[in-house]
A and B are shown apart, each in its own frame.
Chain A
Amino acid sequence: MPAFRPLPNGGRLGPAAVRSWWPKGAEGEPASAKDAVLLARTPHLVLDGATAAAAALGACRVVAYVPEHLVPGVRRAVAERARHGLDPVPIEVVGAPSAFLAGQEAAVVSALNGGPPMPTFQGLVPIRRRGVQGRPTLVHNVETLAHLALVARFGAAWFRQVGTERAPGTVLLTVSGRSPSPVVIETPLGSRAGEVLGLSNEEATQYAGALVGGYGGTWVPIEAMVDLELSPEGARRHDAVLGPGVVVLLGKRTCPLAEVARVVRFLEAQSAGQCGPCIHGVAGLAATLGALAWAPATLRRGPEELVELASLVEGRGACRHPDGVARFVTSACEVFADEVARHLRTGLCPLAAAPGTLPLPRPLARPAGVAW
């Protein structure tokens, strides 16, 4: 939930949970680092936001659910706060397992209730009504809480000095592919992507495409990326969402279809393996993409099969994981249509064997403790 929307205010809430939605490295969204940066460098800002939200809602408990490697730092910050009696409610720090979906909000609640860190069915009773210990629960991500803390400290007028009318404030982006290693950038909402990335029309020609919103996000043609407005509305004009704030520029010395196939193989392994349409549909997408990338001659149906499977999985899971996979695949088919046609025509791609450049944890392991 963006910071600028009013907090839901129906009665008193129970526990409030802080989550690091997309933790760094081999955990969560592999291409994102912004939450880890915030938690490591400004833990007090994040915790200020959490306690402000808790106070506004009358919550009785705050839980910081953060990646294991950040637990000691956050614990230290909590102890400092306790010494000064800063917080109206106690803050607990709980380590999150390293799995792509561990930060999904129902998975957070499940883990805090002692269950597996996997999404649960939310169709009948959402966690905002029944969550941790059966009480109404608010789950916010780290960046939103940091923004909340800034609004609480400096006021709404200060917060609105940058950004757009409908999307005030700033956004944190993790940008890969523009420099040798990924960088986290804070920029006012509404900025032009070309300016933020230091990308002119001419420089853009060295890239094959841009990924906006991470591995559940949307591929955008590189020419359109230069002028993309970095805001929810701006992204929506390209059928994209900023989501976890991940932007990846894909270079030309690699096969985009092989890159996409590798990521979808990873996403398949990360699915919690609970819902039939997601299990079979995402496996089908991974297999079809693999064939399209590395053995196009074996394909009976190519792009049509991908589009069909994508629409089959969309909205059919307990969580939004398959929807993101569908968006990732269908937008890739559009943006890399020339490559798809070339693969199908020539039956082989000289670049398909090149090492992947999109960030993925290595080795590609399935999360421990998950039954398949």
Chain B
Amino acid sequence: MRRRVFRLLVDPIACDGHGMCAELFPERIALDRFGYPVFSDQPVSPDLLPLARRATTMCPQLALHLVEANASGGAGR
């Protein structure tokens, strides 16, 4: 079976930049100088999935998503 690789994706319209996600998941999320999340280039490894899921469910705006790394989408990263 193919191993599924995940990455983070933020809806920049919904995100209000309070930075909760970076506190919950500093392994992959940092904040830019304005307080909006920036993701590390590294995929979210399986051992980090629980932390990543917690960050997505705790985001007060539900702006943070965990998607398959090879899934295509539009703008926004």
Q: Spell out A's residues near B (CB within 8 Å).
A: 106, 119-124, 126, 274-278, 280-281, 312, 315-320, 323
Q: How far is the CB of B70 from chain A (nearest CB, A)?
A: 14
**Chain B minimum-CB-distance residue to A314:** B77
How many angstroms from the CA of A119 to the CA of B76 in the assembled complex?
A: 12
How many angstroms from the CA of A132 to the CA of B32 in the assembled complex?
A: 35
**Chain A minimum-CB-distance residue to B15:** A276
Q: Spell out B's residues near A (CB within 8 Å).
A: 9, 11-17, 32-36, 65, 67, 72-77
Instruction: Return the contact of A121 from the options B14, B32, B36 (Cβ within 8 A).
Output: B14
12 A-B pairs whose Cβ atoms sit less than 8 Å apart in the complex: A119-B13, A123-B67, A123-B74, A123-B75, A124-B11, A126-B74, A275-B15, A276-B34, A278-B12, A281-B34, A315-B75, A317-B12
Instruction: Return the contact of A122 from the options B32, B36, B74 (Cβ within 8 A).
Output: B74
B74, A276: Cβ atoms under 8 Å? no
How many angstroms from the CA of A318 to the CA of B73 in the assembled complex?
A: 11
B73, A277: Cβ atoms under 8 Å? no
How many angstroms from the CA of A316 to the CA of B34 in the assembled complex?
A: 12
B12, A312: Cβ atoms under 8 Å? no
Instruction: Return the contact of A123 from the options B9, B32, B33 (Cβ within 8 A).
Output: B9
**Taking chain A's interface residues, is the majority helix, strand, or loop, or is none over half, making it mixed?**
loop
Which B residues touch A315, using CB under 8 A? 75-77
**Chain B minimum-CB-distance residue to A280:** B34
Which B residues touch A319, using CB under 8 A? 75
How many angstroms from the CA of A319 to the CA of B12 in the assembled complex?
A: 9
Which B residues touch A122, using CB under 8 A? 73-76
Q: How far is the CB of A183 from chain B (nearest CB, A)?
A: 33
Given A280-B34, A281-B34, also A275-B74 (CB < 8 A): no
Which B residues touch A274, using CB under 8 A? 12-13
How many angstroms from the CA of A280 to the CA of B36 in the assembled complex?
A: 10
How many angstroms from the CA of A320 to the CA of B32 in the assembled complex?
A: 19
Given A106-B74, A124-B65, also A275-B12 (CB < 8 A): yes
- In the complex, besides A123-B76, A316-B77, 4 extra interface pairs with C-beta distance below 8 angstroms are A119-B13, A121-B13, A121-B74, A312-B32
B36, A276: Cβ atoms under 8 Å? yes
User: Which of B9, B13, B72 gathers the greatest number of chain A CB atoms within 10 Å?
Assistant: B13
Given A121-B12, A123-B11, A312-B33, also A276-B17 (CB < 8 A): yes
**Chain A minimum-CB-distance residue to B11:** A121
B65, A277: Cβ atoms under 8 Å? no
Instruction: Return the contact of A320 from the options B33, B36, B75 (Cβ within 8 A).
Output: B75
Which A residues touch B67, using CB under 8 A? 123-124
Which A residues touch B15, using CB under 8 A? 275-276
How many angstroms from the CA of A126 to the CA of B76 in the assembled complex?
A: 12
B36, A277: Cβ atoms under 8 Å? yes
Q: How far is the CB of A151 from chain B (nearest CB, A)?
A: 27
Which B residues touch A124, using CB under 8 A? 9, 11, 65, 67, 73
Instruction: Return the contact of B75 from the options A276, A280, A312, A317 (Cβ within 8 A).
Output: A317
